[in-house]
């Protein structure tokens, strides 16, 4: 099944699309009422170079569960939305900004928060399932007949005998009845009108997740007794319920929002970045991948299968372009510490290499990939950067990933204006493991492009 995207205006010289900055100021209903400029200024005043402990949950206060389209799709490692909510309501962060750029979109938390603040947003995401979920999350014009469209597809699937099985590897994850019903739905989704394709694909992905014989408590598919005897009727019920939830959530979005676009691509590729002119008023706000032990691709492998992104059940081609991957190619398995810019990072990686060569190679690859990403920011002189990162426990020690990433950004000439640490872990991060488990703190680092750049 091919991917569909709704592009905005084309970005000059790249053939890529970028959102058009809003012509008119955002309508008041868009803007969440609170501003945090005073709180942020107080933090900046006390900043001496060491991270300041804050609780974004306390600063922002309770937010309704799954408001708007947050929670539309259960992606792992979602960003605590209090963080972009706070930052985007802070003058020091949004002054002079008319585009928010997230090179690691995930399920689209930052893009939606930017829209809610009246800021146009563009993001890049390499995992096609996450890219799909975030495209729907920030849909521009929400059609008012979503439920009718999704219900019609369900009715047609119930009537048809046509089946589409994008990958036979999916079969073992479903009862016979559920598998057959999903294949009927998949054939109707593939035949859907192009303008409905994302909505239909998302409903199929959510339904396939819900009726799988997997343990819902574990983000990656692990066989369980759940749904072992699911029938086609259970699948129709699941689709109807997901359809209702999608329509309700999309219906709750404020009617007029600036555009947001998701580019399915690789953040290392400079062609997907804002051009130099746009970059002058761009805020890069992102929670990048965490180094290792991340299973974004595996956590979406069943959905990827049903949507045609994983022929023969294989997702290795998706994983190959992921930053922070576990499986390295033969070339990447050689530890080339010379590729790493900072002396401190090289020293830390040498210590890891002495204990576990493969693990060190994974981190060398990760940091070189992230260097490439930040080089794109510097090449375009992106005005401001706000990163939400963490640390990793590696071979019995702590790798200060956030500090090393900050050092890379500083080495590119950016001024580090503040570092905050939220000890309450915001992301529901994946399975714990000995090598690579992220520690339970988020670091929020803000950088400013050098004057005259």
Residue closer to ligand SAM, measured from CB, 78 or 210: 78
- Per DSSP, the three-state class of 197 is helix
Residue closer to ligand SAM, measured from CB, 199 or 318: 318
Among 135, 268, 378, 400, binds ligand SAM (CB under 6 A): 268
What does the CA dihedral 322, 323, 324, 325 come to, rounded to 10 degrees? 30
What are the backbone dihedrals phi and psi of residue 376, each rounded to the nearest 5 degrees, phi first? Answer: -60, -40
Q: Is 266 in the site for ligand SAM (CB under 6 A)?
A: yes
Supply 401's token pair.
């990933």
**Minimal distance, residue 294 CB to ligand SAM, in Å:** 7
**Minimal distance, residue 452 CB to ligand SAM, in Å:** 30
Where in 18-77 is the site for ligand SAM (CB under 6 A)? 75, 77
Supply 227's token pair.
């749904």
Please state whether beta strands 415-422 and 442-448 pair in parallel, antiparallel, or not at all (unpaired): antiparallel
Among 183, 267, 302, 352, binds ligand SAM (CB under 6 A): 267
Residue closer to ligand SAM, measured from CB, 214 or 315: 315
Distance CA 57, CA 179 (A): 42
Q: Is 106 in the site for ligand SAM (CB under 6 A)?
A: yes
Distance CA 5, CA 236 (A): 27
**Minimal distance, residue 382 CB to ligand SAM, in Å:** 16
The 3-class secondary structure across 10-42, one letter per residue, is EECCCCEEECCCCCCCCCHHHCCCCCCHHHHHH
Where in 318-347 is the site for ligand SAM (CB under 6 A)? 321-323
**Minimal distance, residue 210 CB to ligand SAM, in Å:** 20
Among 40, 69, 78, 412, binds ligand SAM (CB under 6 A): 78
**Minimal distance, residue 241 CB to ligand SAM, in Å:** 23
**Minimal distance, residue 103 CB to ligand SAM, in Å:** 6
Residue-level length of the chain? 453
Residue closer to ligand SAM, measured from CB, 192 or 265: 265
Residue closer to ligand SAM, measured from CB, 175 or 301: 301
- Helices 128-137, 197-210: inter-axial angle, 10-degree rounding: 120
- Candidate ranges 125-133, 155-163, 234-242, 400-408; the one touching ligand SAM (CB under 6 A): 125-133
Among 18, 30, 79, 238, binds ligand SAM (CB under 6 A): 79
**Minimal distance, residue 369 CB to ligand SAM, in Å:** 7
Q: Are 134 and 105 in contact (CB under 8 A)?
A: yes
Q: List strand residue ranges (DSSP E) for 230-379, in order.
A: 260-264, 282-286
Residue closer to ligand SAM, measured from CB, 147 or 424: 424
**Minimal distance, residue 190 CB to ligand SAM, in Å:** 24
**Minimal distance, residue 170 CB to ligand SAM, in Å:** 21
Q: Is 304 in the site for ligand SAM (CB under 6 A)?
A: no
Q: Is 124 in the site for ligand SAM (CB under 6 A)?
A: yes
Q: Are 265 and 370 in contact (CB under 8 A)?
A: no
Distance CA 8, CA 19 (A): 5
Q: Are 133 and 202 in contact (CB under 8 A)?
A: yes
Q: How many residues bind ligand SAM (CB under 6 A)?
A: 24
Residue closer to ligand SAM, measured from CB, 184 or 268: 268
Q: Is 315 in the site for ligand SAM (CB under 6 A)?
A: no
Q: Is 113 in the site for ligand SAM (CB under 6 A)?
A: no
Q: Is 183 in the site for ligand SAM (CB under 6 A)?
A: no
**Minimal distance, residue 434 CB to ligand SAM, in Å:** 21
Q: Are 220 and 431 in contact (CB under 8 A)?
A: yes
**Minimal distance, residue 227 CB to ligand SAM, in Å:** 26
Q: Is 127 in the site for ligand SAM (CB under 6 A)?
A: yes
DSSP state, residue 434: T
Taking the mean position of all CA atoms in its chain, how far away is CA 392?
19
Distance CA 389, CA 445 (A): 8
Q: Are 226 and 241 in contact (CB under 8 A)?
A: no
Among 174, 179, 296, 447, binds ligand SAM (CB under 6 A): 296
Beta bridge partners of 264: 125
Please state whether beta strands 99-102 and 282-286 pair in parallel, antiparallel, or not at all (unpaired): parallel
For the sheet with 415-422, list strands across it.
52-53, 415-422, 442-448, 384-389, 282-286, 99-102, 120-125, 260-264
> Which residue lies nearest ligand SAM, judged by its C-beta?
106
Which residues of the shown chain bind ligand SAM in the complex (CB under 6 A)?
Answer: 75, 77-79, 103-104, 106-107, 109-110, 124-127, 130, 266-268, 287, 289, 296, 321-323
């Amino acid at each position: 099944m091919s991917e569909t995207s709704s592009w905005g205006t084309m970005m000059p010289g790249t053939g890529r699309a970028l959102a058009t900055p809003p012509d008119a100021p955002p309508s008041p209903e868009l803007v969440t009422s609170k501003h945090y400029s005073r709180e942020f200024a107080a933090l900046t005043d006390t900043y001496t170079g060491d991270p300041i402990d804050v609780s974004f949950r306390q600063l922002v206060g309770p937010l309704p569960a799954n408001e708007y389209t947050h929670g539309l799709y259960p992606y792992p490692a979602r960003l605590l939305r209090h963080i972009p909510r706070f930052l985007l309501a802070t003058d020091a962060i949004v002054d002079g900004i008319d585009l928010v750029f997230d090179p690691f979109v995930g399920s689209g938390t930052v893009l939606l928060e930017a829209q809610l603040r009246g800021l146009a947003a563009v993001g890049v995401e390499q995992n096609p399932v996450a890219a799909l979920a975030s495209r729907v999350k920030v849909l521009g014009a929400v059609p008012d007949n979503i439920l009718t469209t999704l219900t019609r597809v369900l009715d047609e699937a119930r009537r048809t005998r046509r089946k589409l099985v994008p990958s036979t590897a999916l079969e073992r994850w479903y009862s016979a009845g559920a598998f057959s019903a999903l294949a009927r739905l998949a054939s109707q989704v593939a035949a859907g009108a192009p303008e409905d394709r994302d909505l239909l694909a998302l409903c199929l992905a959510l339904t396939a997740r819900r009726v799988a014989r997997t343990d819902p408590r574990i983000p990656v598919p692990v066989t369980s007794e759940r749904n072992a005897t699911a029938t086609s009727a259970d699948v129709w019920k699941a689709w109807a319920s997901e359809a209702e939830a999608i329509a309700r959530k999309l219906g709750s979005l404020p009617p007029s929002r600036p555009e947001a676009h998701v580019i399915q691509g690789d953040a290392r590729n400079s062609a997907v970045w804002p051009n130099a002119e746009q970059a002058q008023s761009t805020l890069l706000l992102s929670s990048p991948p965490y180094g290792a032990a991340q299973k974004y691709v595996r956590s979406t492998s069943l959905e990827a299968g049903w949507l045609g992104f994983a022929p023969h059940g294989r997702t290795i081609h998706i994983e190959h372009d992921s930053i922070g991957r576990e499986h390295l190619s033969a070339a990447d398995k050689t530890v080339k510490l010379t590729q790493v810019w900072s002396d401190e990072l090289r020293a830390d990686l040498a210590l890891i290499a002495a204990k576990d060569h493969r693990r060190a190679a994974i981190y060398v690859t990760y940091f070189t990939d992230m260097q490439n990403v930040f080089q794109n920011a510097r090449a375009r002189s992106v005005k401001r950067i706000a990163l939400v990162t963490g640390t990793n426990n590696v071979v019995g020690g702590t790798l200060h990933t956030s500090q090393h990433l900050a050092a890379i950004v500083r080495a590119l000439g950016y001024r580090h204006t503040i570092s905050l640490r939220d000890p309450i872990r915001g992301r529901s991060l994946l399975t714990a493991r000995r090598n690579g488990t992220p520690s339970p703190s988020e670091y929020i680092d803000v950088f400013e492009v050098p004057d005259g750049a």
